[in-house]
Amino acid sequence: MYVAANLRNWDKILPFITYAYNTSRQESTKYTPFELVYAREARLPIDNINPRSIGFTDADTYGDAVMKFAAQTRKEAVENITVAQQKMKKRYDKKHKPVSYDEGQYVMVKFPTNHKLKHPWFGPFIVLRQVGCQVYEVASTKARARVFPVNVQRMKPYNEREAESIRKKNYLQRQEQRKAASKPVENNASGNDENHFDSETDINSEAEENISPEPHTTRVASAGSHGIQVNKWGTAHVFDGFWSQIIEVEIPPQASMENL
């Protein structure tokens, strides 16, 4: 979404945004924030051209009117907020169904990712106990896994077939990215693809390991001091003397060693 050509002058625009917000009537309170604080309408730029009359000539009378207006508007604002909250609750309850999980149940957990095409669900995780109305403690199925709380909005029941489809989708996405790369796979060992893999693996490491089984690494090529180790998920380690480089090779998950 386009905002502005210059994104560094936000401090100069902020006062205008604040003024617009404070003088805009809110849907929940039915009043502007300025009215609720100062018990009067805000002065607009047009008022400098055509001043409005306050309708009072005596200061004491004006003060009493302001105090009465403040008490009335704030009372009505509280009532209007209560009505708005009830309407929001009614709309929410129509679409929302209570969710509960049992101890020992397997679930999938949603983790945020900066990769738009990458599937955000990982698992399975095991439910340990309920710690709040909508919060559960879960842990990975791996040994010595870290225990952490998760809101039910980031959880869903684990389905083995669904988890397998997620693994397949992630693999196909990586395959499409390799096909779209401008350089062939053989040139990736030069170290120019380092930033690509930083973005590929920029996600919660424990969740990433939990969605895929531990890959089995096999040595498939060797030439002098050079060597390559490729696992079944298509990640390769290239060894050259005292250094190693991680590259991506186009190998499907079920490829056999004879095909390599």
| Per-residue pLDDT tens digits for 203-246 | 445 555 555 444 443 444 434 444 445 444 444 444 444 444 44
**Number of structural domains found in the chain:** 3
| pLDDT digits 0-9 by tens, 17-61 | 999 999 999 999 999 999 999 998 888 888 888 877 767 777 878
Q: Is residue 8 part of a domain?
A: no
Residue 174 has pLDDT above 50, yes or no: yes
Q: Which two tokens stand for residue 158?
A: 């684990």
Q: Give dist(CA 52, CA 61) in Å, integer.
A: 18
Q: Are 230 and 236 in contact (CB under 8 A)?
A: yes
Q: Is the pTM of this model over 0.75?
A: no
Q: Give dist(CA 225, CA 241) in Å, integer.
A: 6
Write the single-letter amino acid at 159. Answer: N
Q: Of 195, 201, 255, 205, which Cα lies nearest the Cα of 230? A: 255
Write the single-letter amino acid at 156. Answer: K
Q: Is residue 5 part of a domain?
A: no
| pLDDT digits 0-9 by tens, 52-107 | 776 777 787 888 888 999 999 999 999 999 999 999 999 988 887 788 898 889 99
Q: Are 32 and 22 in contact (CB under 8 A)?
A: yes
Residue-level pLDDT at 134: 87
| pLDDT digits 0-9 by tens, 178-200 | 778 765 544 444 444 444 434 43
Residue 110 has pLDDT above 80, yes or no: yes
Sign of CA dihedral 41, 44, 48, 51: negative
* 214 and 158 belong to one structural domain: no
Q: Which two tokens stand for residue 134?
A: 């909508």
The size of the chain, in residues, is: 260
Tokens 């929940």 belong to residue: 28
Range of the domain at 141: 98-184
Q: Are 236 and 249 in contact (CB under 8 A)?
A: yes
Q: Is residue 3 part of a domain?
A: no
* 104 and 88 belong to one structural domain: no
Choose one of 184, 209, 236: the last residue of a domain.
184
